[in-house]
Amino acid sequence: MGNISEFGRLVLLGVPLGNPGDASDRLRETLATADVVAAEDTRRLARLARDLEITIPGRIISYFEGNEERRTPDLVDALRSGAVVALATDGGMPSVSDPGYRLVRAALDAGVPVTAAPGPSAVTTALALSGLPTDRFCFEGFPPRSGGARRSRFRVLAAEERTLVFFEAPHRIAATLADLADAFGAGRPAAVCRELTKTYEEIVRRPLGELAAWAADGEPRGEITLVVAGADPAAAPRPSDEVLRAAVTERETAGSSRRDAITAVATEYGLRRRDLYAVIHPPTAPPA
């Protein structure tokens, strides 16, 4: 490997969520000077450049979920040859539920410097606007698409005490809210944040049960970020056996042994290990 100073650099661009007025000076400068701009949607990038009244002289290529595996090696080669490569998604920071992680990891593995021109984030913007606690939160990205996997995941998250942030597609938001209301309780506070920073921005703050009915009455459109209050530890009952079994199964699927999975779940929910073991391995009745 050559000296790192011989390499170019990868710049992750925090692209406006919708309002071009949120573009930073560093974003403008990087777009105007990068050798290569890899964009999730080249048409959106062209529209952004027009809105910002800048010209992008570098080579523009598409870089999205369907081609990122194929195009990453070429971009790494360009970086190793000294090129400055900028990565732009449709909005927000690359690699946060958007293309980018694969390229970041490949660049770091190749010894190439990676930096960012930070900018808007749908996660923290929605969190701040939700009116829900912001001191501790976790980002869950997009929930599973299939109903069964989604409901299973929500059962595991039902006891999470931190505020939860999700992304969701408009055509799935009604089903997702209904599943959340079932798993978390219809009264759990939440907020649907739609079209953040855009002309038709809308923040709907209601309990999950009411939000599920609202979404079912008419499919919300646009980009959606969902914020859900964490569980109240003082009010939260012991998780159901079904939730506990799902939590153990999830850890086993991720590679943990049954013993380690039971220990981790017992610790997470404040249970005695032997009590959880009895849930996972219920005693069999003696033969009559």
Of 87, 120, 153, the domain-final residue: 120
Structural domain boundaries, residue 219:
123-228
pLDDT (0 to 100) of residue 284: 66
210 and 267 inside one domain: no
Listed range (89-93, 145-149, 237-241, 265-269) with the worst mean pLDDT: 237-241
Closest CA to 190 of 210, 213, 216, 171: 210
254 and 153 inside one domain: no
- The answer to whether residue 87 is domain-embedded is yes
Domains in the chain: how many in total?
A: 3
111 and 129 inside one domain: no
Tens digit of pLDDT for each residue in 136-169?
Answer: 999 999 999 999 999 989 988 998 999 999 999 9
- The answer to whether residue 234 is domain-embedded is no
- The answer to whether residue 288 is domain-embedded is no
Q: Are 208 and 183 in contact (CB under 8 A)?
A: no
Report the DSSP beta bridge partners of residue 11.
86, 115
Distance CA 277, CA 74 (A): 50
Of 228, 252, 268, the domain-final residue: 228
- The answer to whether residue 266 is domain-embedded is yes
191 and 249 inside one domain: no
pLDDT (0 to 100) of residue 233: 80
Segment 39-44 shows an average pLDDT of: 96
Share of the chain above pLDDT 90, in %: 76
DSSP 46-57: HHHHHHHT----
CATH number of the domain that residue 68 is part of: 3.40.1010.10
- The answer to whether residue 183 is domain-embedded is yes
97 and 58 inside one domain: yes
113 and 127 inside one domain: no
Q: Are 191 and 126 in contact (CB under 8 A)?
A: yes
The pTM for the full model equals 0.76
pLDDT (0 to 100) of residue 2: 42
- The answer to whether residue 175 is domain-embedded is yes
